[in-house]
Amino acid sequence: MKVEALGWLIFLVALLLSVMLHETGHFVAAKRFGMKATRYFVGFGPTLWSFTRGETEYGIKALPFGGFVKIEGMTSLDEVDPEDEPRSFRRAPGWQRLIVLAAGSFMHFVLAALLIFGVALGIGAEVASNTTVLGPAPTCVPASEQALTSGAACPNDAAAPPATLAGLQAGDKVTSFDGTAVSTWTQLYDALGKVKGGTPVTLTVERDGHSLTVHTKLATVPGDARGFLGIADSYTFQRQSFFDSVKDVGSGFAETVTGSASALAQLPAAIPNLFKADRSTTAAGNVTSVVGAARDTGDTVAADEGWQSKVEFVLLLIASLNIFVGLLNLLPLLPMDGGHVAVVIWERIKAWFARLRHRPDPGLVDYRKLVPLSFGVFVVLVIFGLTLILADLINPVNIG
């Protein structure tokens, strides 16, 4: 339990740092363009500690659920002292405002790229060993052939695989299967594929220098004619070259962007299935909240695996989360950064048309008209976020 709690702490600290890095992007870009930024805080609520340097107050608040930067004159609704108006956000050129708004997501992307690059260069890619030394086993018997091939998450009530029930462990070396000697994973997998579900089998394994014989009965996966034992090949880690690590950054971004787009597209279908027993086999099994991600980080840190697997999972999970958050923030919906970007672009388009017609610049968008839309999107995001957290608490799935 203490180790799992450490995993939760690692994830939550990483999440908080990611949020603050996002705000740092806004802050640095705004200062670079001479905008007045008066506050930079970690957390929300009552102030626990702060200090002022120059014109900016830095500090920590009581609720560590994020952070914020206060830039003067972010919208037409903000009240700004007349002497500060020339340095307000809204008076800066459009291209500068766009850079400031996009800087938060940019920092997420930079962090994700560094994490993926560091994992590839420092830890490497997992490569199947093709030995009969067992790796970490699946946690359940798949509900269908599709779940087996897709690696779908396991529901809470799923049956444990026969290998686990028989006491097989990661690190065991299988020397024979049903009386047939095996020395490679290919031989073991081929021998296993000839046996149907429900058939008793016998395996001989080496563990800590001792030979053990175990007996079990293969499970049946609907739609798959082969019996299911529930074992996995062991892996080794091969460090990537500098250029291959750069390629991994590109492929990592492509996979996460594609997966994020797919998850967002499946949200309407996922919501009705969040609290169903078969959640893991539906679109709802592909979405999770920070609670689900934190729980999986805790489970991974506590798992009986090598440190490379643990570090790789945690760092790549944080990288994927940063890419997703960066993309989500760029959606053209208020109150997210992308919504403000869309407003600035609309202002510039109107100004361009006004110049063509030799008319004065129509100026800033009236945010009073956008408040209902912004509030509506905010409420939807909060409700969905809380719903997803509740689902992960009472009907969790394992994304790892």
Active site residues: 23
Two tokens, residue 139: 């946690």
- How far apart are alpha carbons 336 and 276 in whole angstroms? 31
Q: In whole angstroms, how far apart are CA 40 and each of 25, 37, 59, 79, 338?
A: 12, 8, 7, 19, 21
10 Å CB burial of residue 228 (0-12, 13-18, 19+) is buried
202 three-state secondary structure: strand
- Count of CB atoms within 10 A of residue 257's CB? 14
- Count of CB atoms within 10 A of residue 245's CB? 19
Contact 83, 71 (CB under 8 A): no
User: In sequence order, which residues have a C-beta less than 8 Å from that of residue 385 and are 6 or more positions away?
Assistant: 289
From the CA atom positions of the chain, what is the Rg in Å? Answer: 27
DSSP string across 294-362: HHHHHHHHHSSS-HHHHHHHHHHHHHHHHHHHHHHHTSS-TTSHHHHHHHHHHHHHHHHHHHHTT----
User: In sequence order, which residues have a C-beta less than 8 Å from that of residue 319 and are 6 or more positions away?
Assistant: 111, 112, 113, 115, 116, 119, 252, 256
- How far apart are alpha carbons 48 and 385 in whole angstroms? 27
